[in-house]
Amino acid sequence: MEWKDVVQKIENETTAIQYTPPTEVLKIFHYGIIDSEAGSYGQYFTTMVFAEGDCRALAFYNANNLLIVAEETRFDLEHLKTLARLYLPLGSEFLGYCGLKKIWEYTQDVLGSLDTLKTIDEYKELINALNTYVAVVHGWIHHYFPWNIGELFPQKKKSDIKRMFELSDGLKD
């Protein structure tokens, strides 16, 4: 696929999910439907945790940093293509396994179109399309993530630790 076609495909989907959550995000984060059954012992909470973190890393570190590096004059187009091939697949493939299949599909489209690029500006447009899409998906994930579960794990205060020490007096070493 030509890089311009990939950009158009990703931008169309980004527009579609700008104000409406992607079905994949709803399935995972709102309804707990994981097609791959990713998650240990029949639960999907860890799938949500890893998907949230990997999506964040892909958008705000990997893809974003590929755009930052593209501004460096010491990197030519071939260097940038190599970096994209190194930094995009790992997190994207895992996100696909977690149920965010379009991220993995679009990443494969981006990687498959790298050899059709002729300029660094084209490279930036292509990577930016993926980066923007993943950032919007992450925004929806952030919205639907069950952050309130954290209330089950309050941080311990010094008074709690003192009381725990007092209560542990009868324990063996």
Please count the other Cβ atoms lying within 10 Å of the Cβ belonging to residue 107. 26
pLDDT at 18: 97
Confidence of residue 17 (pLDDT cuts 50, 70, 90): very high
Indicate the domain borders of the chain.
Answer: 3-170
Tell me the C-alpha distance between 44 and 121, whole Å.
Answer: 40
pLDDT at 170: 79
Global pTM reads 0.91
On the question of pLDDT at 173 being above 80, the answer is no
Tell me: the pLDDT tens digits for 95-121? 999 999 999 999 999 999 999 999 999
CA 119 to chain centre: 27
Tell me: the pLDDT tens digits for 127-153? 999 999 999 999 999 999 999 999 999
Residue 62: strand, helix, or coil: helix
What ranges in the chain are assigned the alpha helix state H? 3-16, 23-25, 45-57, 64-69, 77-87, 89-98, 101-113, 120-144, 158-167
Confidence of residue 15 (pLDDT cuts 50, 70, 90): very high
Q: Give me the DSSP letters along 107-136.
A: HHHHHHHGGG--SHHHHHHHHHHHHHHHHH
- Cβ pair 113, 84 in contact under 8 A: no
